[in-house]
Structure 1
Amino acid sequence: MSERSLFLDRGIGETRGVVLLDGRPERLLIERDGDDQATRLGARHIGRVRKVEPAFASAFVDLGGVEALFSFKPDARPVEGQSLEVEIRTEPRVGKLATVRVIGPAQGAPRLLAAPPSMAEQLVSFARGVEIIEGREARQVADEAEAEALDIIHPLPGGGNLAIEPTRALVAIDVDIGERKGNDVKRVTRAANLAALAAAGRLLRLKSLGGIVVIDLVGRGHDGNALLTAARAAFSPDNPGVAIGPVGRFGTMEMTIPRRAPPLAETLCDANGALSNLTLALRLIRAIENEGAAQPGARLTAVCAPAVAQSAKPLAEKLAAKIGARFTIRPEPASPRERFDVSAS
């Protein structure tokens, strides 16, 4: 039986929540200071229908300076100017608006009625009755989850690996048998595919990826029923809304998974796919805080790229209020952007 554990890292400028599934990261939730809570999953609003698009069975809703989209059935077409109580169903991502579900009619101007669930409440919803672990262990788990979420190639238990690469149209997953051992080729490929499906479900939740997913399975002559059963089990935590197709003639399995939050890479990376200056600044601040805890009373010096130092300035003020002004962040033009050094004296 699967076992989940929960971790909460309350950092300077950022809070991270992690769900582990059998000891491996399954979900990583990130909230940063200044994030717009209005479009977080579960936030409830009074919204006003701004525009109706009958051809697409969709309507644009003004939430009070923020716009969202909802789909309607032909017999439930809204009226422009109508007020509705709505709840955020999917958060916005690059190039896409948030979507809402309609709760019912409402009165008054667009406004926020109820804030989204807190990070702790979200974590508990994934594993009820499980104690949330905080502190140093939670920070280490969150760091490891973040690193795995950004990887492309992931090893499979027993050998082999899978590669996960999102594109504009879909998420492509390639299964590679690698050096997986065994004399019976069919049995080896079957085991690799079953392991890949289990890992894919966990990793897509970790990376917060959804939409159309195509898995290129390894081998031929697949046991379609066994793979379909395994896929249903692997992606059951993503329900409602998961649809899984049979293994196709070219050895691929296609499915759709609901998108509820933006891909984690959008939070951690810039438009070019590199870690953003803010992400690196947050890592720098954590490193200084960790070193300060390990060496109380010592003066600390952090050397980093100028762009990262600039992003870290407001965070450094908050850190100084917590551990004292016993550290210096020194910009070094020759320092690689994604590397920094923290030393004590």
Structure 2
Amino acid sequence: MKATLCIDDAVGEYRRALLDSDGKPFRLEIERWNERGHRAKLDEIRWGRAKARTPGNRGWFVDLGAGPDGILETRAVVVAGTLLGVRVKSEAWSDKGPVLSMADMAASVVRPDKPVLHSEPAEDPFVIGLEIVETASGADARERIDAAIEEATQRILVLPGGGDIALDQTRGLTVVDVDSGARIGEADPETFALNLNTAAAAEAARQISLRGIGGLLAIDFVGMQQPRNRRSVVDTFRKTLAGYLRRASEVLDMSTLGVCEAAIARRARPLAASLSTPRAEREALDALRMLETAGWNARGSRLHARLSVEASSWLEANASVWNDPLAGRIGARWTIESEQRPPGQPKVWSV
């Protein structure tokens, strides 16, 4: 699959997005600077210390030296306190630690005396299996990534030709509801439902990939009478999802009630977890990005930012991290003001 890679290495936060051949985003990655080295990332090989058995004796809790304890899925004999070579199969999310598997370590490898990163992934998991035909950065990439994040946080998405899908996530299940809305189509109800459901299946697959959704999924399609049409819609969903994720998922056939169930393996951290930053920090990071963008657009002008007191305090406390990098990019020509209000959207302007 061919894709465009957009990179936005803003001060305080690194973001990437992948766009398909139609220019639509299908994958996002966000990492704050203060997270680097403090969480276990997909496909890393790490040394971790076995701490205790998991409930049901199905594996071990493992101290990785970064972020929450991982869960090692193994029935092998392990002694508590032992340093183990493990691979990160899926990243931590919500209150769940990363899932691990045993790594194949050569006998000659020197074991460290504490949990530590052993090696980075041999291939970048974000782009593995894709043909990157273009790499974009700068203002254009930043704008595309902003738009992708905005799209990925919408509950309802309009389909081409009319109708929409709504995505609702709970702790144990993601539900996608297909609605015809004001869609105008064929007079034949079966053909109308087939075309609507086919468009919904493709869009649902892209949104699942874009948002990093995993676990159990149920899609409530508009009912169809013909078994061949139900199979066609599920086939579209299955193939489109595999194309975006670059791996197969367990997708069941559609029921006579129009419901399709699927189980999607979790790999990278879900987008919702990446965006769950404390509000003051989120406002501060947005302000830094907006200052940098304003600096690109208004060269030589004085820049001003107005933030909540909490966000301004966050910037002051972390000035050693962001001040010099921002000055190196646009020059030290900004003034930051604070105002009494809840953290939210910063205001940035140039004069």
The two structures have a TM-score, normalised by structure 1, of 0.88
Cα deviation code 1:245-298 (max 9, x no counterpart): 11124321110101112221222135xxxx732222222222121112111111
1:154 and 2:157 matched: yes
Partners of 1:72 and 1:123 lie apart in 2 by: 26
Alignment of 1:51-130 (within 5 A): 51-53=52-54, 55-64=56-65, 67-73=69-75, 76-104=76-104, 107-109=111-113, 110-116=115-121, 121-130=124-133
1:209 and 2:213 matched: yes
1:250 and 2:257 matched: yes
Residue 19 of structure 1: how far off its partner (Å): 0.2
Cα pair 1:180 1:188 within 8 Å, conserved:
no
Residue 219 of structure 1: how far off its partner (Å): 2.8
Residue 70 of structure 1: how far off its partner (Å): 1.8
Residue 47 of structure 1: how far off its partner (Å): 2.3
Residue 212 of structure 1: how far off its partner (Å): 0.2
Partners of 1:327 and 1:94 lie apart in 2 by: 36
Residue 303 of structure 1: how far off its partner (Å): 1.9
Question: Structure 2 counterpart of 1:42, which letter?
Answer: D
CA 1:311 to 1:176, structure 2 compared with 1: closer, same or farther past 3 Å?
A: farther
Question: What residue is the counterpart of 2:15 in the other structure?
Answer: 16
Partners of 1:176 and 1:91 lie apart in 2 by: 33
Question: What residue is the counterpart of 2:335 in the other structure?
Answer: 328
Cα pair 2:15 2:145 within 8 Å, conserved:
yes
Cα pair 1:84 1:104 within 8 Å, conserved:
no
CA 1:148 to 1:65, structure 2 compared with 1: closer, same or farther past 3 Å?
A: closer
Compare 127-136 and 17-26 and name the one that shifted more.
Answer: 127-136
Cα pair 1:160 1:178 within 8 Å, conserved:
yes
Question: Structure 1 counterpart of 2:208, which letter?
Answer: L
CA 1:285 to 1:31, structure 2 compared with 1: closer, same or farther past 3 Å?
A: same
Cα pair 2:218 2:259 within 8 Å, conserved:
yes
1:303 and 2:306 matched: yes
SS of equivalent to 2:260: strand
Compare 80-89 and 323-332 and name the one that shifted more.
Answer: 80-89
Number of equivalences: 335
1:6 and 2:5 matched: yes
Cα pair 2:46 2:119 within 8 Å, conserved:
yes
Residue 65 of structure 1: how far off its partner (Å): 6.0
Cα pair 2:42 2:90 within 8 Å, conserved:
yes
CA 1:241 to 1:187, structure 2 compared with 1: closer, same or farther past 3 Å?
A: closer
Partners of 1:325 and 1:177 lie apart in 2 by: 53
Partners of 2:314 and 2:54 lie apart in 1 by: 41
Compare 305-314 and 201-210 and name the one that shifted more.
Answer: 305-314
Residue 62 of structure 1: how far off its partner (Å): 2.5
Cα deviation code 1:11-48 (max 9, x no counterpart): 10111111001211101111111214340112111223
Cα pair 1:304 1:330 within 8 Å, conserved:
yes
CA 1:257 to 1:87, structure 2 compared with 1: closer, same or farther past 3 Å?
A: same
Partners of 1:92 and 1:135 lie apart in 2 by: 30
Partners of 2:133 and 2:255 lie apart in 1 by: 40
Cα pair 2:175 2:219 within 8 Å, conserved:
yes
CA 1:277 to 1:188, structure 2 compared with 1: closer, same or farther past 3 Å?
A: farther
Residue 244 of structure 1: how far off its partner (Å): 0.8
CA 1:337 to 1:129, structure 2 compared with 1: closer, same or farther past 3 Å?
A: closer
Residue 163 of structure 1: how far off its partner (Å): 0.9
Partners of 2:44 and 2:347 lie apart in 1 by: 40
Cα pair 2:26 2:206 within 8 Å, conserved:
yes
Cα pair 1:48 1:62 within 8 Å, conserved:
yes
Question: What residue is the counterpart of 2:193 in the other structure?
Answer: 189
Question: Structure 1 counterpart of 2:224, which letter?
Answer: R
Partners of 1:115 and 1:217 lie apart in 2 by: 42
Partners of 1:310 and 1:147 lie apart in 2 by: 27
Cα pair 2:3 2:131 within 8 Å, conserved:
no
Residue 122 of structure 1: how far off its partner (Å): 4.3
Partners of 1:160 and 1:196 lie apart in 2 by: 9
Correspondence for 2:346 among 337, 340, 344: 340
Partners of 1:126 and 1:283 lie apart in 2 by: 32
The two structures have a TM-score, normalised by structure 2, of 0.87
In structure 1, list runs of 5 or more residues that go unmatched: none
Question: Structure 2 counterpart of 1:312, which letter?
Answer: L
Compare 314-323 and 149-158 and name the one that shifted more.
Answer: 314-323
1:34 and 2:41 matched: no
In structure 2, list runs of 5 or more residues that go unmatched: none
Question: What residue is the counterpart of 2:267 in the other structure?
Answer: 260
Partners of 2:33 and 2:66 lie apart in 1 by: 20
Cα pair 2:176 2:220 within 8 Å, conserved:
yes
Residue 129 of structure 1: how far off its partner (Å): 4.6
SS of equivalent to 1:112: strand
Residue 126 of structure 1: how far off its partner (Å): 4.9
Identity %: 31
Compare 49-58 and 220-229 and name the one that shifted more.
Answer: 49-58
Cα pair 2:158 2:164 within 8 Å, conserved:
yes
SS of equivalent to 2:35: coil
Partners of 2:66 and 2:150 lie apart in 1 by: 35
